[in-house]
Amino acid sequence: MEFFDTIRMRHSTRHFKDDGIPECDLRKMLEAATLAPSATNDQPWHFIVIQNNDLKNTMRDIVIAVLEAEITSTEDKARIKRLSNMRMFSTHFANAPAAIAVLARPWAGSVYSTSGESVPRDLGIESASMASNQLLLAATDLGYGSCYSSAPAEFARVELEAVLDVNPPWFLLGIISLGITAKIPQTLAARKPLDEVTTFI
């Protein structure tokens, strides 16, 4: 597939066929991820490939339990609605043939800036995010659907890290769902016009 065709074809899909993914294809996606740029080439990423259905279901149940606890502990109707809508967005990895837990660790370098800026930056997260995106593009190029979700880590990071035996300094950043797309969206999510998000100086 041509490079720009791959970029345009990539979209988030949360419905997958049951077909498994050959290990050779998984390795190609993971290799693409590891070729991503990172701060001082520190490569602060690690990937856990989960194909065991029992483990995926256990992880899904953990996320749902945390969400349900949050829902029952609040009387804020807007928050209840928001959390209820997050069930599917947080657990679609369980229905994918493969789920890839994306781990990051703090960047090993020192802080460059001496300006005392107040905007927090984590070069470990930035680097692992670039690697994740290259994995998504490789999946598209190989004919697979994918979806990156930070929600499982946002709601149940500590619990999921315990199940996956993730120990500091590593932490769970998100989970990528992978598989052959079962439901292709009729229209892709709209993008803002280039001129709206770009400034030429």
Report the distance separating Cα 90 and Cα 80, nearest Å.
15
Q: Which residues of 108-122 are buried (b: 16+ CB within 10 A; e: fewer)?
A: eeeeeeeeeeeeeee
What is the structure's pLDDT at 111?
57
The CATH number of residue 112's host domain is 3.40.109.10
- Of 23-32, 161-170, 189-198, the poorest mean pLDDT is in 189-198
pLDDT of residue 107: 84
Nearest to 151 by CA among 96, 88, 58: 88
pLDDT, tens only, 134-193: 999 999 999 999 999 999 999 999 999 999 999 999 999 999 999 999 987 667 778 899
Q: Which among 164, 142, 110 is positioned nearest to 24, based on CA atoms?
A: 142
Question: Angle CA(154)–CA(165)–CA(18) in degrees, nearest 5?
Answer: 70
- Domain range for residue 16? 3-197
pTM of the model: 0.91
What is the total count of domains within the chain? Answer: 1
Q: What three-state secondary structure class fits 157?
A: helix
